[in-house]
A and B are shown apart, each in its own frame.
Chain A
Amino acid sequence: MSAAEEDAAVREPLDLIRLALDEKVYVKLRGDREARGRLHAYDQHLNMILGDVEEVITSTETDEETFEEFTKTTKRSVPFLFIRGDAVTLVSPPLRS
């Protein structure tokens, strides 16, 4: 197998993330948080550095009178963000069209 084929092979789950390097990824985190951004670095703990990150925090609030629950999303943008791997629950590579 050539070096290029070796690099493109998916043998273990982390290989999928390796192929997503320098691509936009979707990351789901503990605490109803999600982040979308360009994957610049990662390691085996799923520590990551993302660029041009948009973080979305989803929280539920209860209306004090009707006791109706509604969800609220808070968005913010960060140029470069290190994410500690122990908060990561899911990583999705970009959709190929």
Chain B
Amino acid sequence: MSPSRVVPLTFARGAIEKIAKSRSRRADVKSTRVLDVALFYSYFKTLVGKPVTVELKNDLAIAGTLVSVDQYLNIKLENTRVTDEARYPHMRSVRNCFIRGSVVRYVQLPEAAVDVDILHDATRREARGA
């Protein structure tokens, strides 16, 4: 995100929420939560506290509880367990970790935490704004 975009977004968010409320079909609070402009950052924030599995570009897969996420989609996990412990025995004692966003390939999401209608709405809104 370029610095010049940061300030306008603060009040763009107010406008976006107003538009969202005017769309009576989904004017509940839940749907406005993902409406921030950085779509995936906002979405991952709603997953804090939920179990996820992060797969890295070096094939290491780490399951754990999502603690926090930032604008680069850096991820902090707690209670981590490496999926293939036999292959990565040196990871056995790691229970907390920070993962640099750029090394992530996939994140497996908990089924219960995915509301596809909210995602569709937020994606369309982001596509229109971008």
Binding site for B on A (CB under 8 A): 14-15, 18, 21-22, 29, 31, 40-44, 47, 49, 51, 78-84, 86-87
Contact = CB atoms under 8 A, between A and B. Distances in A.
Given A43-B39, A86-B102, A18 B119 contact: no
B109 interface: yes
Given A41-B43, A43-B39, A51 B120 contact: no
B102 A43 contact: no
Nearest to A49: B119
A87 B56 CA distance: 11
B114 A81 contact: no
B104 A14 contact: no
Contacts, number: 70
B67 interface: no
B113 to A, nearest CB: 8
Interface of B: 39-40, 43, 57, 73, 101-102, 104-111, 114, 116, 119-120, 122-124, 126-127, 130
Contacts of B120: 21-22, 40-41
Contacts of A82: 40, 106-109
Contacts of A43: 39-40, 123, 126, 130
A39 to B, nearest CB: 9
Contact of B123 (A21, A78, A80, A87): A21
